[in-house]
Chain A
């Protein structure tokens, strides 16, 4: 079956810095793929190239069989890729439910002329949009908070709202940038279950940037590791856990030996 997302030799260069260097990635449909790596490895830049914010210098991004490099971000959103952001970027002065309804924008059709005359299809579409908004609010657990301004919501609620907004356009592929950042273990656990549920019941393919290894090892079908813009490893969680290059990327040179020593000591003590 055709993978839903593929990148071939994706390269993004800023002036003198190659932020993403010839990265190949394959994301099969209906899976959860994590991209991990130390800070500055180019993970968010990779997302930005995939979602169309950056145009890569070299390489291609192929979504559902189409080369999407040259498209604008709204066209890509319409094709079915949604994302969330490392630093939450909601529409601060709009209410929570409005944020979600904007997410539906590319799936709605009425024009300003419909609005002025309140045509029947306008009335119907608005009503349906609000209902869908309510439904998504409930789905992410924000029922009742819909009329609060997005900027007045607590941090955890804002993260969930961002996901709800991303889901509103009925995406086939969801890019989540550090969805559990700043969360306590309880919230992290809920979020992990939530993400798994997205794949299981909604059939959405998910690509995840994460730093929390529990989350990554817990839900990923497949992991890719980036360091200094290049992919240094990929595989199942088990394979990645014992990959010495990955360990060195995080802990520095000699880190593999250190980690081995630590693990041996743990076994010894146990």
Chain B
């Protein structure tokens, strides 16, 4: 056996070329980033106040992305499909919240001190709760019907088919919203305690930095919802069932789990989270229209992939990371803020090239040969 000639066979050219290109790209990007960052730090350095402001807005944005990303990852983990219309579900949620506030601000509740007081300011906390309830329920229902009408009939079809259906549903929902409400942007009327732009003022590096009430509210709520979801998935019967179905549908069915029902419930939950994100978006950013869900939807999917598709904590981390990178990126690299979307997509491309399984790694059932 020792006398046998062993020569290692050569790897194919394409594999080598691919590897070389990948390394070249990686190194080039890193060098470029380092240079630009150095430039920014030395030529005209931003003060700590600017960085703080940016970091804060990044976190807030990240929280919303995380909520939407969880929805993507839940659906992908269970059905192996990209729910292209998830961004529209968020949009529906944001419209729900909008109309809730509009109605509430027109219910007169006059008092002796303030004859023009309306419900929304008389009971602000209740109003917020109502807005979220309405937004989240509308979004959940949309998710439920979306699955029932556009995805369920296609269960088991090759991957491309449900994706096209999802794209169609997304286009349909966007345009339905446009036809119903018109293309103009609408402004959220928050209750007084959450008036946009108001907040605590903090002195950092000599300049005032406003930590907005809406921002804090959104971020805290995002974290609470994430914790809630995590608990649901890890500790409850429903969560266990969801994880089982994501692992292996057939076996789960054999164990007595009603797979269809679990899938519906997954869509309801992911819709609720997206709806919450939609209402938050309206409260914090103000302007919404039929298109408001589209780009955040794509970015949230980016975030889900970034954290590791199918992985719920991954979606959370991915969302927060993407939010921060998207806001810090242009500043750190000295690039025009116009290009912030380029940053987001470039991150996506780079992550997928160098670590396709994401930050925390994928959590999907294996394909067997």
Segment at the interface with B among A29-37, A62-70, A139-147, A191-199: A62-70
> Are B6 and A62 in touch, CB under 8 angstroms?
yes
- Is the beta-carbon distance between A66 and B369 smaller than 8 angstroms? no
Residues of B1-33 contacting chain A, CB below 8 A: 1, 4-9, 11-12, 15
The reply on A53 being an interface residue by CB < 8 A is yes
Contact call B8/A70, Cβ cutoff below 8 A? yes
Report B85-116 residues with CB < 8 Å from chain A CB: none
- Residues of B within 8 A of A (CB-CB), count: 11
Asked whether A71 is an interface residue with its Cβ less than 8 Å from the other chain, the reply is yes
B4 touches A65 (CB 8 A): yes
**A65–B369 contact, CB under 8 A?**
no
Question: Interface 1/0s, chain B 355-369, versus A by CB < 8 A?
Answer: 000000000000001
Given known A48-B369, A53-B369, A85-B369, contact A71–B11 (CB-CB < 8 A): yes
Which one of A62, A68, A70, A85 contacts B4 once the chains associate, using CB atoms below 8 Å? A62
**Given contact pairs A44-B369, A85-B369, A65 touches B12 in the complex (Cβ within 8 A):** no
Cβ–Cβ contact B4 & A2, under 8 A: yes
Q: Please determine whether B9 and A66 come into contact, CB atoms closer than 8 angstroms.
A: yes
Q: Say yes or no: A66 contacts B8, CB within 8 Å.
A: yes
B369 — which chain A residues lie within 8 A by C-beta?
A: 44, 48, 53, 85
Question: Any chain B CB within 8 A of the CB of A153?
Answer: no
Query: Which one of B1, B5, B9 contacts A68 once the chains associate, using CB atoms below 8 Å?
Result: B9
Which secondary structure dominates chain B's binding surface? Answer: loop
- Least CB distance from A55 to B in Å reads 12
* A 56-76 to B, binary, CB cutoff 8 A, 1 in contact else 0: 000010100111101110110
Considering the chains assembled together, what is the distance between the CA atoms of A134 and B4 in angstroms? Answer: 40
A261 CA / B11 CA spacing, docked (Å): 55
Query: Is A79 in the interface zone, CB < 8 Å from B?
Result: yes
For residue B4, which residues in chain A have a CB less than 8 angstroms away from its CB? Answer: 2, 6, 62, 65
Contact of A70 among B5, B6, B11 (CB under 8 A): B11
In the assembled complex, the Cα of A35 lies from the Cα of B9 at a distance in Å of 26
Determine whether the beta carbon of B6 is less than 8 Å from that of A79. Answer: no
> B7 is contacted by which of A2, A65, A79, A85 (Cβ under 8 Å)?
A65
- Complex interface: chain A residues within 8 A of B12 (CB): 71-72, 74-75
CB neighbours (8 Å) of B11 from chain A are: 70-72, 75
Nearest CB in chain B: distance from A39 CB, A: 13
Chain A 81-120, CB within 8 Å of chain B: the 1/0 string? 0000100000000000000000000000000000000000
A48 to B368, CA, bound (A): 11
Set of chain B residues within 8 Å of A72, measured between Cβ atoms: 11-12, 15
Most buried by A among B4, B11, B12, B369: B369
Q: Kindly provide the distance from the CB of A17 to the nearest chain B CB, expressed in whole angstroms.
A: 12
A65 to B7, CA, bound (A): 7
A12 to B183, CA, bound (A): 58
Task: List residues of chain B with CB within 8 A of the CB of A85.
Answer: 369
Question: A1: shortest Cβ distance to chain B, in Å?
Answer: 11
Q: Which residues of A contact B (CB under 8 A)?
A: 2, 6, 44, 48, 53, 60, 62, 65-68, 70-72, 74-75, 79, 85
Known: A48-B369, A65-B6, A72-B12. 16 other contacts (CB 8 A): A6-B1, A6-B4, A65-B4, A65-B5, A66-B7, A66-B8, A66-B9, A67-B6, A70-B8, A70-B9, A71-B12, A72-B15, A75-B9, A75-B12, A79-B9, A85-B369
Please name 29 pairs of A and B residues whose Cβ atoms are closer than 8 Å in the assembled complex, sorted by A. Answer: A2-B4, A6-B1, A6-B4, A44-B369, A48-B369, A53-B369, A62-B4, A65-B4, A65-B5, A65-B7, A66-B6, A66-B7, A66-B8, A66-B9, A67-B6, A67-B7, A67-B8, A67-B9, A68-B9, A70-B8, A70-B11, A71-B9, A71-B12, A72-B15, A74-B12, A75-B9, A75-B11, A75-B12, A85-B369
